[in-house]
């Protein structure tokens, strides 16, 4: 039995326990395994007192507000975590070493590949939080021109993300704009904000008219399956991709790190379909 978990606060109605059990059930043959997957809903004030419990596990996932804070507790981080300045997966090795990874970026790239969306050209990332930083950085690493669009109050944070990208990718064109002023043609628009997430399903981060010169819209929200942004985009003739596949792919990447297993696109499709039931 492998012991796993999710660290975060608050955790709400997370899909992670069911998701990881479904993925583990896809592993067969001599690599088959049983897992336990528990939730560690720890307040920031309790973290120092309770953190050792996490390191008795075989591995764990990390979500808000610990993706950056966990860095101080690790012995090593891989290049994905260095690129994005955040960790969402920790492996605890047999010798006790604690190694951090970022599998969100793997989930993003695999989702784009599976939906035949090329990461190229001009990309607009809506939002500059942790996942927005990852999207913007990953697109820049792949040669895209990146526009980070945020509300007025977040312009300073977005500028910090832009500086990080310019340091990592000196030849990349990256701009920061107020989301209220965003315009122009884009090959890809990525929603990295919570706007449109259940229960506020009647909200969209941009007006429908903005989407008339956009080829593809990717919304990392997975509840609801189709957000208002995606519906508007579809009606404007854009290709649309939702966030559930990214959730599954990043979890599959975590199990690959923990157990050395590989998942096929067919297995990911089965798990994604099961989560929708």
Q: Which pLDDT tens digit goes with each residue over 215-259?
A: 999 999 999 999 999 999 999 999 999 999 999 999 999 999 999
Contacts for 64 with CB less than 8 Å, ≥ 6 apart: 8, 9, 130
Give the model's pLDDT for residue 30: 55
State the pTM of this model: 0.93
Same domain assignment for residues 131 and 65: no
Q: Where are the alpha helices (DSSP H) in 36-89?
A: 47-54, 79-84
pLDDT at 163: 96
d(CA 236, CA 179): 19
List pLDDT tens digits, range 110-157: 999 999 999 999 999 999 988 999 999 999 999 999 999 999 999 999
User: Are 221 and 197 contacting, i.e. CB atoms less than 8 angstroms apart?
Assistant: yes
**How confident is the model over 80-113, as pLDDT tens digits?**
999 998 999 999 999 999 999 999 999 999 999 9
Would you state the pLDDT for residue 13? 80
174/206 same-domain check: yes
* 43 pLDDT higher than 60: yes
Same domain flag for 165 and 271: no
The answer to whether residues 154 and 28 belong to one domain is: no
Instruction: Find the helix or strand (DSSP H, E) in which 272 lies.
Output: helix 265-275
Instruction: Kindly tell me if the per-residue pLDDT of 29 is higher than 70.
Output: no
* Mean per-residue pLDDT over the chain, rounded: 95
Same domain for 26 and 150? no
Burial label for 247, CB within 10 Å (0-12, 13-18, 19+), is buried
The number of folded domains in the chain is 2
Q: Give me the pLDDT at residue 277, please.
A: 80
The model's pLDDT over 188-223, given as tens digits with 9 standing for 90+, comes to 999 999 999 999 999 999 999 999 999 999 999 999
Query: Left if phi > 0, otherwise alpha if psi is -120 to 50, otherwise beta: which for 96?
Result: left
Residues 237 and 255 in one domain: no
CA distance 277 to 260: 28
What CATH number should be reported for the domain holding residue 192?
Answer: 3.40.50.720
Residue 208 designated active-site:
no
**Within this chain, do residues 112 and 236 fall inside the same structural domain, yes or no?**
yes
In this structure, are residues 136 and 188 in contact, taking their beta carbons and an 8 Å threshold? no
For residue 38, the domain's CATH number is: 3.40.50.10860
Q: What is the pLDDT of residue 129?
A: 87
Share of the chain above pLDDT 90, in %: 92
Q: Containing domain of residue 52, as a range? A: 2-102+245-275
- Dmax (CA) for the chain in angstroms is 56
First to last CA, the chain: 27
Is 189 in the same domain as 271?
no
Question: Is 94 in the same domain as 203?
Answer: no
50 and 94 co-located in one domain: yes
**Are 24 and 125 within one domain?**
no
What number is the average pLDDT over the span 151-166?
A: 96
Residues 184 and 113 both lie in one domain: yes
Of the residues 51, 67, 82, 200, only one is catalytic, namely: 67
Q: How far is CA 8 from CA 5, 42, 144, 235, in A?
A: 10, 6, 32, 36
């Amino acid at each position: 039995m492998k012991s796993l978990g999710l660290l975060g606060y608050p955790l709400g109605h997370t899909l992670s326990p069911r998701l990881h059990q479904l993925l583990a059930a896809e592993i067969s043959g001599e690599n088959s395994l049983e897992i336990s997957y528990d939730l560690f809903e720890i307040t920031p004030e309790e973290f120092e007192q309770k953190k050792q419990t996490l390191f008795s596990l075989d591995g764990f996932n990390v979500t808000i507000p610990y993706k950056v804070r966990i860095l101080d507790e690790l012995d090593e981080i891989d290049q994905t975590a260095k690129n994005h300045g955040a960790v969402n997966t920790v492996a605890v090795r047999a010798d006790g070493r604690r190694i951090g990874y970022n599998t969100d970026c793997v989930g993003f790239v695999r989702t784009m590949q599976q939906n035949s969306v090329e990461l190229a050209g001009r990309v607009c990332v809506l939002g500059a939080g942790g996942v927005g930083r990852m999207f913007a950085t990953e697109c820049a690493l792949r040669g895209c021109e990146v526009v980070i669009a945020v509300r007025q109050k977040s312009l300073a944070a977005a500028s910090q993300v832009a500086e990080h990208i310019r340091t990592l990718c000196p030849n990349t064109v990256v701009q920061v704009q107020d989301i209220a002023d965003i315009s122009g043609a884009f090959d890809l628009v990525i929603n990295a904000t919570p706007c449109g997430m259940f229960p506020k399903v009647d909200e969209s981060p941009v007006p429908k008219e903005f989407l008339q010169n956009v080829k593809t819209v990717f919304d990392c929200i997975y509840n609801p399956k189709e957000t208002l942004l995606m519906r508007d985009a579809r009606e404007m003739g854009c290709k649309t991709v939702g966030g559930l596949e990214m959730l599954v792919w990043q979890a599959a990447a975590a199990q690959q790190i923990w157990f050395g297993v590989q998942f096929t696109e067919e297995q990911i499709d089965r798990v994604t379909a099961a989560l929708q039931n």
